[in-house]
Amino acid sequence: MSMKIAVLPGDGIGTEIVAEAVKVLQVLDLPLEMEQAPVGGAAYELHGHPLPEGTLNLAKSADAILFGAVGDWKYDKLDRPLRPEQAILGLRKHLGLFANFRPAICYEQLVGASSLKPELVAGLDILIIRELTGDIYFGQPRGRRTAVDGLFPGADEAFDTMRYSRPEIERIAHVAFQAARQRGRKVTSVDKANVLETFQFWKDVVIEVHAQYPDVELQHMYVDNAAMQLVKSPKSFDVVVTGNMFGDILSDEASMLTGSIGMLPSASLNDRKQGLYEPSHGSAPDIAGKGIANPLATILSAAMMLRFSLQAPEAADRIESAVKSVLAAGYRTPDIWSEGTQKVGTREMGDAVVAALMGNGAGKTITTITKS
């Protein structure tokens, strides 16, 4: 039986990096059916909406979605519902993609690319699990109005609503404890229980769910302290679970610890294990079309897709070892390049992964490592 992948490249470097991941998927010899559709600014240009009905229906009907990136400064002046970012928020909401996995792994060869001291990040492997369909991102009511109370009654004001229901917290807590069982058996739940009612409730519910996982250690941390500990001793974390807003911020921070946001994949899953897979980085309009973007985060996202949504864990392992072997062979896109390694473009990096997968051995195709 073939598995269906909706391929949504999006904007900026999205098209270039997704093309490389598709190339990699095509040499795996798996029954994959891939169908492409526009999303984000590209879809707005074609259909006047960042998430056209055709794209949404394709995504709903697929087993998994391979997503590039959306956004460009040129759309900043559009009404909010028409901005590219709404496409990703819409997909999360319509498909119920509540569990966002954002691993931050520091690859051995890239330790020097981190802005932190090598000893702090060598061997770093943490997993941020961000709740993705609740919190202040989606809470109603929200909007603008004239203040009737507060410090300045009669003034214009804007407001959003932070809220979490018990089932929303329970299900993401289960995801985190189960993930921790496959790893270091430690969960850090990040909250702001000292100030926010929503996050006191979050903490209470996480403690309740934890009773079912006595083999996993649970730690609670306020979000400001977590931001600090992430740069002070990142390796003290294993799985971090938090809400939508804090997870947005902390996952960007964690990704930078590795020095190579161009390397980090992510997955957003619903309760049917249908998932959206995308690189952790954005659309990088400044380098779009130049053929220099790093496709590895997207290629590694395709590996996560095979493992989580398409029941093909061996193929996922093969991709991950192919990526490790191209790094070991010295291939680097400009974002991770350092003295003594070979600078390559987007397509060459994709080709190198394909070659490694085909057993050519990326190491054999490079005979000398040139300095540029």
Q: Which residues bind ligand IPM (CB under 6 A)?
A: 85, 88-89, 248
Reading phi first (left if > 0) and then psi (alpha if -120 to 50, else beta), residue 87 is in alpha
| Short-list 115, 114, 97, CA closest to 105 | 114
Residues 280 and 296: their CA atoms lie apart, in Å, by 11
Alpha-carbon span 266 to 258, nearest angstrom: 15
We find the least distance from the C-beta atom of residue 82 to ligand IPM, in angstroms, to be 14
> Which run of H or of E encompasses 350?
helix 346-357
Least distance CB 316 / ligand IPM (angstroms): 22
Task: Considering the candidates 4, 125, 160, 252, report the single residue annotated as catalytic.
Answer: 252
Measured from the CB atom, is 136 or 147 closer to ligand IPM? 136
Are 24 and 319 in contact by the 8 Å Cβ rule? The answer is yes
Q: Which does 320 bind (CB under 5 to 8 A by kind): ligand IPM, Mg ion, none?
A: none
Name the catalytic one among 60, 204, 224, 290. 224
Q: Toward Mg ion, which CB reaches closer, 241 or 362?
A: 241
Q: Which stretch binds Mg ion (CB under 5 A): 16-24, 127-135, 200-208, 242-250?
A: 242-250
Nearest to 103 by CA among 238, 214, 231, 8: 238
> Catalytic one among 11, 75, 192, 203?
192
Q: Pick the stretch among 122-130, 203-211, 214-222, 247-255 that binds Mg ion (CB under 5 A).
A: 247-255
Distance CA 118, CA 79 (A): 44
Catalytic site includes residue 224: yes
> With CB under 5 A as the contact rule, which of the stretches 157-165, 234-242, 246-254, 320-328 interacts with Mg ion?
246-254
Query: Looking at beta carbons only, is 63 or 72 nearer to ligand IPM?
Result: 72
Ranked by CB distance to ligand IPM, the top (closest) residue is 85
Q: Which is nearer to ligand IPM, 244 or 346 (CB)?
A: 244
Which residue's CB is nearer to Mg ion, number 88 or number 322? 88
Q: Which partner, Mg ion, ligand IPM, none, binds residue 89 by CB below 5 to 8 Å per kind?
A: ligand IPM
Residue 253 binds Mg ion, judged by CB under 5 A: no
Q: Minimal distance in Å, beta carbon 136 to ligand IPM? A: 11
What Rg, from alpha-carbon coordinates, does the chain have? 21
| The only residue of 85, 170, 248, 253 in contact with Mg ion, by rule CB under 5 A | 248
| Least distance between ligand IPM and beta carbon 164 (Å) | 16
Q: Which region, judged by CB under 5 A, interacts with Mg ion, from 133-141, 181-189, 227-235, 243-251?
A: 243-251
Alpha helix locations (H) across 215-271? Answer: 223-232, 244-257
Nearer to Mg ion, 125 or 248 (CB): 248
Q: 3-class secondary structure for 66-110?
A: EEEECCCHHHCCCCHHHCCHHHHHHHHHHHCCCEEEEEEECCHHH
The amino acid at residue 130 is R
CB of 225 to Mg ion, least distance (A): 20
Please say if 79 is a catalytic residue.
no
Catalytic position from the list 137, 164, 213, 277: 137
What burial letters (b/e) apply to 306-328, b meaning 16+ CB within 10 Å? bbbbbebeebbebbbebbebbbe
Task: Tell me the closest approach of the beta carbon of residue 11 to Mg ion, in angstroms.
Answer: 16
For ligand IPM, the closer CB: 100 or 325: 100
Residue length, the chain?
372
CB 332 within 8 A of CB 343: yes
Residues 6+ apart with CB under 8 A from 283: 10, 11, 12, 13, 14, 40, 68, 69, 70, 71, 72, 84
Of all residues in the shown chain, the one whose CB is closest to Mg ion is 248
Reply yes or no on whether 77 is catalytic: no
CB of 86 to Mg ion, least distance (A): 14
Q: Strands 239-242, 125-131: parallel, antiparallel or unpaired by DSSP? A: parallel
Positions annotated as catalytic residues are: 137, 192, 224, 248, 252
Contact positions vs Mg ion (CB under 5 A): 248
